[in-house]
Amino acid sequence: MNRPRGNFAVGLALGGIILFLGFIAPFLYPADPYAIHPAYVLQAPSLALPLGTDELGRDNLALVLSGGFATLVVALPAAALAFATGLAYGLLAGLAPAWLDKILMRLLDVFLALPSLIVLLFFASLITLNNTSLILLLGFISWPGLARLVRNETLAQRGRDFILAAEQAGAGRFYLARVHLLRVIAPVLVVNGTFMVGDTIFALSALSFLGLGVQPPKVSWGSLLESALNIIALDPWWLILPPGLLVFGSLLAASLTGQGLLRRWGGGR
């Protein structure tokens, strides 16, 4: 009976750990992540080097923490951009006249039909990659699913008595969206926004793994994992596990938190 609450608490705790490692821990651990020490190449974890060193002799713990900051500073704004775009588009389509709604939904169908990874790779190969362009790129491919959900929820709510009464009293569409609709669909938005954070972290890590995400000399969890797998024959487990576990932990935190919110507001048991 208490399992959903337990999962929600675990998701929040795990998310807090991820945020701590990404935004606070890099400033608490003073080692330079990009300092090269040829005498300490591929050192296994020890008391002096908690996560060992990489093939260049760099402190792997410092790299992982720096990679976490580089990952989250792109993924979180990208998720926020996708959320705002999907919300605005969905409300516009749901509150628009029928003819405009049809046009907007046919356009949305086009976006939904495009394979996200292929679109990411295509644009990432054409533009100069930096934090701003990555945020825009990830935000651009992540919003259509939320837009369709918001549009459907908006249409479902428009026939309710309090919405009809507000319309008859002269309330405009912006007022309806701001005062009534957002309050009613807030649980759906929060749940899907949580899932969106995990999706953008995974998408950025996949891009970085392919060399099209956070660019050198900066590192991200995806690029650290790719570098470690290039020398997997040397069995550098301490280089593979930390970034892999952090990407997985981010997805798990988003999933558990989202599912917990969904069960809490949806009445699930």
Ordered mean pLDDT values, 10 residues apiece, the chain (269 residues): 70 94 92 92 92 94 95 96 94 89 93 85 84 92 92 83 72 71 85 92 91 88 93 91 95 90 64
Per-residue pLDDT, 260: 84
One CATH from 3.30.70.141, 3.40.190.10, 3.40.50.150, 1.10.3720.10 for 3-29+59-266: 1.10.3720.10
Per-residue pLDDT, 90: 92
Query: Around 127, how many Cα atoms within 13 Å sit in the side-chain half-sphere?
Result: 18
Per-residue pLDDT, 172: 67
- Sign of torsion over alpha carbons 32, 36, 37, 40: positive
Per-residue pLDDT, 1: 45
Q: What percent helix, strand, coil does the chain show, rounded to 5?
A: 75, 0, 25
Cis peptide bond prior to 243, omega within 30° of 0: no
